Amino acid sequence: MIARRLHFKKVVVVLDDIDHRDHLDYLAGNPNWYGNGIRIIATTRDKHLIETSDVINEVTTLVDHQAIKLFNQYAFVKKEVPDEYVEKLSMEVVHHAKGLPLALQVWGSLLHKRDITEWRSAMEEMKNNSNSEDVEKLRISYDRLETIQRDIFLDIACFLREKDKDYIMKILERCYSGANIGLRVLIDKSLVFISINNTIEMHDLIQEKGKYVVKMDKDSGEPSRI
């Protein structure tokens, strides 16, 4: 019944946060269900799940005017115009987020309907500590990694960021079997990337959250890198 109705309609199917290829196949259904004009949009943290024939639109960090627009959507009531001081604080948040959409959404929601005193307090907390919701969303990607992939991610976050890829691989291959595959998984999950200078990089906030994970492990008595 559903398949027959869909075949004669132009529809957009949105599948959010897919973490397994079977989920995509099961939820999207058989391609024969759909007629002309169908669009299926799937979001995922893992590029490996997307087939080479699919159109991939990789989310990048935002430039300042895009970042402030996204932050304002979450921080202020529709059509509300922040005063000059709050606007200044908003720019501080945007600068600290360094264009990362996740951080802008989390912090915008956190500051929504807060007064000036609460904004100041939240700003200090933001500068000195990792926001728990932000960390938890990163932890979702982290927890889906295999043990060796986690170790490689934390090694890069704590010690190896901005070092030459070939140099890093020599170190990792001495420590872990399957280091090449482990690094590829981190790249596919957008946790790290290779720069044009062949160095291994990660976003500042992803590095910060990685170090936060290490700190939490240390506080719980687990062996630690710091």
pLDDT tens string, the chain, 226 residues long: the values are 566 666 667 778 787 777 777 777 777 666 667 767 777 788 777 777 776 566 777 777 888 889 888 888 888 876 665 677 778 888 888 888 878 887 788 788 878 888 888 888 877 777 666 555 566 666 667 778 899 999 999 999 999 999 999 999 999 999 999 999 999 999 888 889 999 999 999 988 788 888 888 887 766 556 556 5
- pLDDT value of position 129: 60
- Give the β-pairing of 39-42 and 12-15: parallel
Q: Which residues contact 110 (CB under 8 A, 6 or more apart)?
A: 122, 131, 133
Q: How many CA atoms lie within 13 A of 59 on its CB side?
A: 16
CA dist., res. 80 & res. 73, Å (int): 10
Strand partners, 193: 201
Indicate the CATH number of 142-219 among 1.10.10.10, 3.30.413.10, 2.30.40.10, 1.10.287.3510.
1.10.10.10
Q: What is the Cα 173 distance to its own chain's centre?
A: 26
- pLDDT value of position 195: 92
Q: Enumerate the domain spans of the chain.
A: 2-49, 64-129, 142-219
Q: What is the Cα 180 distance to its own chain's centre?
A: 22
Ranges of H-type helices in the chain: 2-7, 21-28, 64-75, 84-97, 101-111, 116-128, 132-143, 147-155, 165-175, 179-188, 204-219
Assessment of whether the complete model's pTM goes beyond 0.75: no
Residues 152 and 183: beta-carbon distance below 8 Å:
yes
Tokens of 72: 């304002």
Using alpha carbons, select from 197, 104, 122, 187 the residue that is nearest to residue 153: 187
- pLDDT value of position 182: 94
- pLDDT value of position 199: 95
- pLDDT value of position 200: 96
- pLDDT value of position 62: 86
- pLDDT value of position 16: 79
Q: How many CA atoms lie within 13 A of 154 on its CB side?
A: 22
- pLDDT value of position 61: 80
- pLDDT value of position 52: 56
CA dist., res. 58 & res. 206, Å (int): 17
Statement: 64-129 belongs to CATH 1.10.40: no
- pLDDT value of position 133: 59
